[in-house]
């Protein structure tokens, strides 16, 4: 006869999670904690997904995310396990938060102290500081409402959305005006406008196409601050991997899932390059379009190829990981070069008619070794150069080389420092790599852009409409792009699974 403990183990529901990005990792930890028997199957060699690691000759690069923003959401996530981020890694607030090159001669530091940023805005335009104060007060109010009313809730119908307090609270109004228009009403100078708009890039969007609700990004970046976890974002991914394992989740790496097996509208498991695995429930973290189009039969696709064709994708990018045998003197941990035509830059990313490899783009330089000496050998620096690109572009060696050379020339000119003669390691990662490594649709780095029509309930659903026990988590779903958002997505989906199958 089975004792009670054995009986409860036998009855455990088997969950297969496809993909070990932040979405898959966080869902694995949450569901394992709730008593499910969790197996995560990942195509690549380790955990982290877009937050993978590239190491060479003592240089360690976080391949994707590098900004630790919204520390409150990380805290909220770890609190599910009675833990704090500091139980896993040391967290430092960066100061300055970042450096911006508006031109060769106009270089400013955005500081962690708000008073200093008010003073900075006063140098851009009359009453700039006062205007920033008002802008941030509005962003803070909207952030608090969004966390309460928008981010952690799953809106399944338009009625859910409109019936909530959102209508009264004014969030709705902020969805009707675009960010560009909103910012143009608030600030006059190019510099101020760029500082409060650049962070929309984190959402894979452009100010013209994004609801002004997302001016919350300035609260996140300027008021809450920019942090760095010692050991990099890979340490954050590893912490959740370790947490999920400690709760009983199993992981299989280097094994791409090739099919989700479905019988009569019910998922029965997955087929991989190695064999088949049975499951009572399948939760997908791999890119949503790839999964629907490639892993499911046509009749089980909630969103077929024609759906994705019409969507506004977030940009792809070209990233150069460069290790140099000297330290950059004039750069800080995060650096933005925003001297080129702003509007035209967004057009080449989002307007299919104008999509092209850029001639002279804005770009981002991350040097984690400024804060984390374990990132590079002593006396050396780890440079991560990121240039956003339109998804779907043809990716050739010639394009890559031309753009890379442009960025190196430009950065050397701006900083007055030699980079080329000091390069020890060098790797370029662009559209084709996003496709090959992550099965990214059209090579997008970030998935679906946060346009007005791709926000909240207008994002692809967490639950399949065609397969009873098939769920999704990660950046394609609500609330969207960014590491903290994937934690929230997994919390939403774990709650939905518990409501339906709670054990």
Ligand X SMILES: Cc1cc2nc3c(=O)[nH]c(=O)nc-3n(C[C@H](O)[C@H](O)[C@H](O)COP(=O)(O)OP(=O)(O)OC[C@H]3O[C@@H](n4cnc5c(N)ncnc54)[C@H](O)[C@@H]3O)c2cc1C
Specify the 3-state DSSP secondary structure of 370. helix
Question: What part of residues 293-322 is at the interface with ligand X (CB under 6 A)?
Answer: 317, 319
**What are the C-alpha distances in Å from 11 to residues 2, 119, 258, 268, 325?**
12, 62, 27, 16, 57
Is 448 a binding residue for ligand X by CB under 6 A? The answer is: no
CB 477 → ligand X: shortest distance, Å? 8
Q: Return the residue of 13, 17, 18, 28 that touches ligand X, per CB under 6 A.
A: 18
Q: With respect to ligand X, which residue has the nearer C-beta, 286 or 493?
A: 286
Q: At what angle do helices 114-124 and 128-146 cross, to 10 degrees?
A: 130
Strand partners, 362: none
Q: Return the residue of 15, 19, 303, 338 that touches ligand X, per CB under 6 A.
A: 19
Q: With respect to ligand X, which residue has the nearer C-beta, 49 or 129?
A: 49
Q: With respect to ligand X, which residue has the nearer C-beta, 187 or 321?
A: 321
CB 2 → ligand X: shortest distance, Å? 34
Q: Return the residue of 238, 439, 449, 455 that touches ligand X, per CB under 6 A.
A: 439
Q: What does the block give as tokens for 117?
A: 């940023």
CB 435 → ligand X: shortest distance, Å? 11
CB 368 → ligand X: shortest distance, Å? 11
Question: What part of residues 66-105 is at the interface with ligand X (CB under 6 A)?
Answer: 66-67, 69
The contact pattern for ligand X, residues 248-287, with x = CB under 6 A and - = no contact, is --------xx---------------------------xx-
Is 349 a binding residue for ligand X by CB under 6 A? The answer is: no
Q: Return the residue of 240, 281, 328, 483 that touches ligand X, per CB under 6 A.
A: 483
CB 502 → ligand X: shortest distance, Å? 24
CB atoms within 10 A of CB 191: 19
Question: What part of residues 126-155 is at the interface with ligand X (CB under 6 A)?
Answer: none
Distance CA(501)–CA(493), nearest Å, equals: 12
Strands (E), 316-369: 316-324, 334-337, 363-366
> 220 exposed, middle or buried (CB, 10 Å; 0-12, 13-18, 19+)?
buried
Question: What part of residues 20-39 is at the interface with ligand X (CB under 6 A)?
Answer: 20-24
Q: Return the residue of 42, 154, 410, 491 that touches ligand X, per CB under 6 A.
A: 42
Name residues whose C-beta falls within 8 Å of residue 263's C-beta, 6 or more positions apart in sequence.
none
Q: With respect to ligand X, which residue has the nearer C-beta, 142 or 257?
A: 257
Q: Return the residue of 438, 441, 472, 487 that touches ligand X, per CB under 6 A.
A: 438
Distance CA(252)–CA(388), nearest Å, equals: 32
Per-residue buried b or exposed e for 353-386, using 16+ beta carbons within 10 Å of the residue's own CB: eebebbeebbbbbbbbbbbbeebbbeebbbbbbb
Is 358 a binding residue for ligand X by CB under 6 A? The answer is: no
Q: Return the residue of 17, 30, 41, 312 that touches ligand X, per CB under 6 A.
A: 41
Q: With respect to ligand X, which residue has the nearer C-beta, 42 or 154?
A: 42
Q: With respect to ligand X, which residue has the nearer C-beta, 39 or 133?
A: 39
Cα 346 vs. chain centroid, distance in angstroms? 19
Cα 404 vs. chain centroid, distance in angstroms? 23
Question: How many chain residues bind ligand X (CB under 6 A)?
Answer: 36
Name residues whose C-beta falls within 8 Å of residue 324's C-beta, 6 or more positions apart in sequence.
380, 381, 383, 419, 422, 423, 424
Per-residue buried b or exposed e for 268-298, using 16+ beta carbons within 10 Å of the residue's own CB: bbbebeeeebebbbbbbbbbbbbbbbbbbee
Name residues whose C-beta falls within 8 Å of residue 14's C-beta, 6 or more positions apart in sequence.
36, 37, 39, 278, 279, 280, 281
Segment contacting ligand X (CB under 6 A): 28-36, 81-89, 246-254, 480-488? 480-488
Specify the 3-state DSSP secondary structure of 19. coil
Segment contacting ligand X (CB under 6 A): 49-57, 77-85, 148-156, 320-328? 49-57
Distance CA(277)–CA(41), nearest Å, equals: 10
Residues that bind ligand X (CB under 6 A): 18-24, 41-44, 49-51, 64-67, 69, 256-257, 285-286, 317, 319, 386, 438-439, 445-446, 474-475, 481-483, 486
């Amino acid at each position: 006869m089975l004792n009670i403990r054995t009986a409860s183990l036998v009855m455990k529901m088997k969950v297969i999670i496809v993909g070990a990005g932040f979405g898959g990792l966080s869902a694995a930890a949450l569901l394992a904690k709730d008593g499910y028997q969790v197996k995560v199957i990942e195509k690549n060699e380790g955990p982290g997904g877009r937050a993978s690691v590239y190491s060479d000759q003592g240089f360690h690069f976080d391949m994707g995310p590098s900004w630790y923003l919204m520390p409150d959401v990380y805290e909220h996530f770890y609190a599910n396990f009675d833990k704090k981020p500091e139980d896993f890694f040391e967290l430092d607030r960066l100061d300055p938060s970042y450096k911006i090159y508006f031109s060769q001669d106009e270089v400013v530091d955005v500081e962690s102290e708000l008073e200093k940023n008010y003073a900075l805005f006063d140098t851009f335009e009359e009453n700039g500081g006062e205007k920033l104060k008002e802008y941030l007060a509005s962003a803070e109010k909207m952030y608090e409402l969004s966390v309460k009313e928008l981010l952690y809730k799953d809106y399944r119908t338009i009625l859910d959305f409109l019936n909530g307090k959102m209508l009264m609270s004014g969030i709705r109004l902020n969805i009707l005006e675009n960010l560009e228009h909103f910012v143009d009403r608030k600030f006059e100078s190019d510099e101020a406008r760029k500082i409060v708009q650049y962070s929309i890039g984190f959402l894979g969007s452009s100010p013209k196409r994004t609801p002004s609700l997302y001016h919350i990004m300035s609260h996140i970046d300027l008021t809450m601050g920019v942090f760095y976890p010692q050991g990099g974002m890979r340490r954050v991914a590893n912490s959740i991997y370790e947490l999920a394992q400690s709760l009983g989740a199993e992981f299989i790496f280097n094994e791409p899932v090739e099919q989700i097996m479905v019988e009569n509208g019910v998922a029965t498991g997955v087929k991989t390059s190695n064999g088949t695995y049975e499951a009572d429930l399948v939760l997908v973290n791999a890119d949503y379009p790839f999964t629907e189009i490639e892993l499911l039969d046509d009749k089980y696709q909630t969103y077929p190829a024609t759906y994705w064709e019409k969507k506004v994708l977030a940009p792809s990018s070209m990233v150069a990981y460069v290790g140099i045998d000297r330290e950059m003197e004039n750069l800080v941990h995060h650096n933005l070069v925003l001297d080129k035509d702003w509007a035209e830059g967004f057009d080449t990313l989002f307007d299919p008619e104008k999509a092209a490899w850029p001639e002279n783009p804005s770009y981002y330089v991350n040097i984690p070794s400024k804060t984390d000496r374990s990132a590079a050998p002593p006396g050396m620096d780890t440079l991560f150069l990121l240039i956003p690109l339109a998804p779907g572009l043809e990716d050739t060696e010639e394009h890559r080389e031309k753009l890379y050379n442009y960025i190196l020339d430009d950065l050397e000119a701006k900083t007055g420092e030699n980079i080329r003669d000091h390069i020890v390691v060098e790797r370029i990662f662009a559209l084709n790599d996003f496709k090959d490594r992550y099965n990214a649709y059209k090579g997008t780095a970030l998935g679906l852009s946060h346009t007005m029509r791709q926000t909240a309930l207008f994002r692809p659903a967490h639950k399949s409409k065609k397969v009873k026990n098939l769920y999704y988590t990660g950046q394609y779903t609500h609330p969207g792009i960014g590491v903290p958002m994937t934690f929230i997505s997994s919390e939403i989906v774990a709650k939905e699974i518990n409501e339906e199958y709670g054990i």
